[in-house]
Structure 1
Amino acid sequence: MDLALSQSTKYWLNFFHPLLMWLLLAVSIYAAYLGLQVQRTRNASSDQKKELIKGRYNIRHYQIGSILLGLMVAGSVGGMAVTYINNGKLFVGPHLLAGLGMTTLIAFSAALSPYMQKGANWARMTHILLNFTLLGLFAWQAVTGVQIVQRILTNA
């Protein structure tokens, strides 16, 4: 399949996915911070809890998580699309497979929200475990992604 895109456009499309993913890694770290504040609020004494509630960590965590879910799925699909547009195939390797795993993890993590809202501790603990696994994979993906960008720049 050959899209009618100029070589220059195809080249610069290579950098959209990495830039978005680095931004999302930073947003993920912020979402983790908010989630830890939610947990801290939940476990606080009554006086401390009153003060922490003012931070609206639960609402901010939910909103950032929703944005993160949408952009991560779109960014993953976009990265695969650009690779296919530029090469006519996907390169099946650790970066792609871990990225697909991350997309799956964030979907499962978000799917636990209704159970957490009803107070299910198993869902809360699973959500935390999935998200810290996701964050670890995300950091590793950042390193392997930089290696891929370096190859693109070298071959230009």
Structure 2
Amino acid sequence: MSLEIPATIKPWLNIFHPLLMFVLLGVSFYALYLGVKVRQLRYAEGETKKELIKGKYNVRHYQVGSILLGLMVVGTLIGMGATYINNQKLFLGPHLLAGLGMTGAIAVSASLSPYMQKGQNWARYTHIVLNSGLVAVFVWQAVSGVQIIQNILSKL
């Protein structure tokens, strides 16, 4: 099957995925910050707790996490789609496999929300471990993505 994409659009296909992913990396750090605040709230007392409640960190963490989940899945599909459209194949390598693993990890992490809302500590700890690993791999993905972009630009 041949997908003919107009020549004016093709270059944008290669740049949209990396731009989106760098934005999502920043959003991931913001979600991490909010998650730390939620954790502080859980163990705070007195005036400190009252101040943390005003920040609505739990609601914001949940909302940012939901947006992050959706955009990461879409961003993964866009990256794979752009690669396939431009090369008629996917390159099975560390960048693709790590990206797919990250997409799976964020989906599993998000699926733990109902258990965390019911106070299940195992779900909280699993959520923290999964997302810590996800952010670490995401940083590596950014580095390997820059190398891929440099490779693409050198061929232009």
Normalising to structure 2: TM-score of the pair? Answer: 0.98
Which stretch of the first structure deviates more once superposed, 61-70 or 47-56?
Answer: 47-56
1:117 and 1:72 map into 2 onto residues whose CA distance is: 23
Asked if 1:47 corresponds to 2:69, the answer is no
Asked if 1:136 corresponds to 2:136, the answer is yes
1:8 and 1:95 map into 2 onto residues whose CA distance is: 26
Question: 1:25 offset after TM fit, Å?
Answer: 0.1
2:107 and 2:114 map into 1 onto residues whose CA distance is: 13
Matched position secondary structure for 1:107:
helix
Question: 1:8 offset after TM fit, Å?
Answer: 3.1
Question: 1:54 offset after TM fit, Å?
Answer: 0.2
**Aligned residue number for residue 63 of structure 2:** 63
Detail structure 1 runs of 4+ shifted over 3 Å in the superposition.
none
| Identical pairs, percent | 65
2:72 and 2:18 map into 1 onto residues whose CA distance is: 11
**Aligned residue number for residue 117 of structure 1:** 117
What RMSD over aligned residues (CA atoms) do the two structures have, in Å?
Answer: 0.7
Question: 1:11 offset after TM fit, Å?
Answer: 2.0
1:15 and 1:78 map into 2 onto residues whose CA distance is: 10
Question: 1:45 offset after TM fit, Å?
Answer: 1.4
Question: 1:2 offset after TM fit, Å?
Answer: 2.3
**Aligned residue number for residue 77 of structure 2:** 77
1:29-51 residue CA offsets vs partner (Å, 9 max, x unmatched): 00000000000011111221011
1:10 and 1:150 map into 2 onto residues whose CA distance is: 16
Asked if 1:93 corresponds to 2:93, the answer is yes
Aligned residue-pair number:
156
2:113 and 2:58 map into 1 onto residues whose CA distance is: 11
1:76-101 residue CA offsets vs partner (Å, 9 max, x unmatched): 01100000000000000000000000
Normalising to structure 1: TM-score of the pair? Answer: 0.98
Question: 1:10 offset after TM fit, Å?
Answer: 1.2
Question: 1:5 offset after TM fit, Å?
Answer: 1.4
Structure 1 unaligned runs (5+)?
none
1:48-71 residue CA offsets vs partner (Å, 9 max, x unmatched): 101110000000000000000000
1:94-133 residue CA offsets vs partner (Å, 9 max, x unmatched): 0000000000000000000000000001100110000000
